[in-house]
Amino acid sequence: MLGVLGVRLLDEILAPTWSLHRLVRGRIEDDRAALLAASDEQELILNRTRRLRRLEVVGPAGSGKSMLAAAKARRLAHDGYRTLLVCFNQRLATSLIRELEEAPAPAPATHGPTSAAPGPTGLDVTTFHRLCERLATEAGVLPTRPAPIPRTWWDEALPAALDAAIDWLPQEHYAAVIVDEGQDFEARWFELLQRLLAGPDAVFWVFHDPGQALIRTDVVASLGLECHELFENHRNPGSIAQLAARFYHGDEETIARPTAERRYTVIGAKPGAATLDALRRTLHRLIEEEHVAPFWIAVLSGGSATASEVWRHRRFGNAFLENAALYDDGSSRGLAPEDVPDEPDEVLFETIRRFKGLEREVVVLVELPTDGDRLDELLYVGLTRATTELVVIAPPELARRLGGGKGEVSDGA
C-alpha cells in the first residue's frame, strides 16, 4: 500500500501544478502604453491654463509636474519668449535638457523681454545654483569657491552672488521663468528669480509637491500665485502608490492607475554584508530570471553617495553599478547639468535625494535610515520612483513597517 503520503507524492509527479508568472520585462512593456496615454491629459492641462501668467501647480509624485514644466517651457520658447526652466537637482536638469534638445536656439526676438532692448528668444535649462554661478561669473561678482565646499556656499554665498549680479545684467532677464521642484527652494530664491523677470506681464510658474520637501519646508503657497491642483499619479502601479501614500504629507488623496498584481517586494536585511548580499540576489533575479535590461534598473541609496557601501562595492555578480556624475569615492564630479555624460548600459546607482523628480522602470531602494528628520518624505520620494517594479531592501525594523500592506517581507538578514 502506498499510503496517504505515497498517493500524494505520486499525484504530484504525474499531475504537477504549474503557476504562470508574467515576467517583469513584459510588465514594463505594458506600462509604457499607460504612461504614454497620460501625455494627452498633460496637453489638456496646458491648454486650459495657457492664459495664466502667475501660477503654482501642485501635485503628488507621478502627476506629471516635470513633464508639464518642460512642455510649458517649450511652448513659451516656441512663441518667442526668452524662457528659463530652473530646478534644484542636477540630474533632473540634465534629463530636462536632453528632453528639450529640440527647443528653439537663442535668436533675435521679435518682441523682446526687456524694455531696454530686444533680447534673445530660446530656452535656458539649469539648476538654481548653476544659474547663480553663471550669472555671477558673467557679472564678475562670483567669490572664490572654497574647498571643501561648505553648506553655506549653496545656501548663502551663491544666492548672494546672484543678488549682486542681477542689476548688472539686464540682458539676462527673462520673459518667462518656470520653476520645477519648487518645494526645495527658499523664499529668497523665489524673490531673486522674480527679479529676473522682464516686466509685470512676464510668466512665472512654479511646480511643487509638499510631500517631497526633503530639503526644507515648502513655501510656494505663500507666494500668492493662482493655484492649479493635480491629483492623478500616472507613474506608479496601484500597489506601489498605496504603499507610498502611507508616507505622503499632502492635502489631498491621490488617484493612481489600477493594477491587479502586487508590484513591490520588501526584503528585511541588516546593514552591511546582509544588505549587499540581498542586493546581489535581487539584481540576479531581475536581470537573469526576469530578463530586465540593466539600464532599466536604478539602485537608489537612502544616504549619501560618499557613505554608501553599495557604491563602494559596485559589482554584484554580473551586475555593475555606474554613475557618470560621481567619482569612485561617491563625491560629485561637479559637472554642469549640460556636461553630464550619457549613462552606460549598466545599472544606475544614485541617491534618493539626487534622483528626485525622475523615474525608472525598476527601482531598488537600499541603505534606508530607520529614523531622522524628514524620513517620511525620503521614503515617499524613493518609493514613487518606480514605474513598473519596486524592491525595498531595508533594516528589519523598517521592513516590518513597510510590509504592513500588501507586499511580502522576505528575511534577508
Q: Establish whether domains 49-230 and 236-411 are of one fold.
A: yes
Phi-psi region of 390 (alpha: psi -120 to 50; beta: other; left: phi over 0): beta
10, pLDDT greater than 50: no
Per the document, the length of the chain is 413
Please report, for the chain, the start and end positions of each structural domain, with discontinuous segments joined by +. Answer: 49-230, 236-411
Specify the higher pLDDT residue, 50 or 274. 274
Grid coordinates given for 28: 514594463
Beta strands 319-322 and 315-316 are antiparallel
Assigned fold of 49-230 = Rossmann fold (3.40.50)
Q: Which residues contact 47 (CB under 8 A, 6 or more apart)?
A: none
C-alpha angle 239-243-246 in degrees, rounded to nearest 5: 145
Per the CB < 8 A criterion, the answer to whether 55 and 226 are in contact is: yes
DSSP secondary structure string for all residues of 259-314: -SS--EEEEE--TTHHHHHHHHHHHHIIIIIS---GGGEEEEESS-STT-HHHHH-
- State the average pLDDT over residues 145-174: 93
DSSP-assigned beta bridge partners for residue 205? 55, 178
Q: Taking the mean position of all CA atoms in its chain, how far away is CA 112?
A: 34
pLDDT at 410: 52
Specify the higher pLDDT residue, 194 or 47. 194
DSSP annotation of 154? I
pLDDT at 39: 57
How many whole angstroms separate alpha carbon 171 and alpha carbon 63? 35
- State the average pLDDT over residues 359-365: 96
How many whole angstroms separate alpha carbon 402 and alpha carbon 248? 14
Collapse the DSSP code of 109 into the 3-class scheme (helix H, G, I; strand E, B; otherwise coil) and give the result. coil
Q: What confidence category does residue 115 fall into, taking pLDDT thresholds of 50, 70 and 90?
A: very low
Grid coordinates given for 341: 555624460
Does domain 236-411 bear CATH number 3.50.50.60?
no
pLDDT (tens digit per residue) in 389-402: 999 999 999 999 89
Q: Which residues contact 284 (CB under 8 A, 6 or more apart)?
A: 316, 317, 318, 319
Q: What is the pTM of this model?
A: 0.84
156, pLDDT greater than 90: yes
C-alpha angle 292-296-302 in degrees, rounded to nearest 5: 115
How many whole angstroms separate alpha carbon 411 and alpha carbon 393? 10
Burial of residue 152, with CB atoms counted within 10 A of its CB: 0-12 exposed, 13-18 middle, 19 or more buried: exposed
Beta strands 226-229 and 54-58 are parallel
The residue with cell 496646458 is 46
The residue with cell 534673445 is 120
How many whole angstroms separate alpha carbon 11 and alpha carbon 68? 58
Grid coordinates given for 274: 546582509
pLDDT (tens digit per residue) in 285-304: 999 999 999 999 999 999 99
18, pLDDT greater than 80: no
How many whole angstroms separate alpha carbon 42 and alpha carbon 30? 20
pLDDT (tens digit per residue) in 213-245: 999 999 999 999 999 998 888 888 889 999 999
Sign (positive or negative) of CA dihedral 292, 60, 46, 111: negative
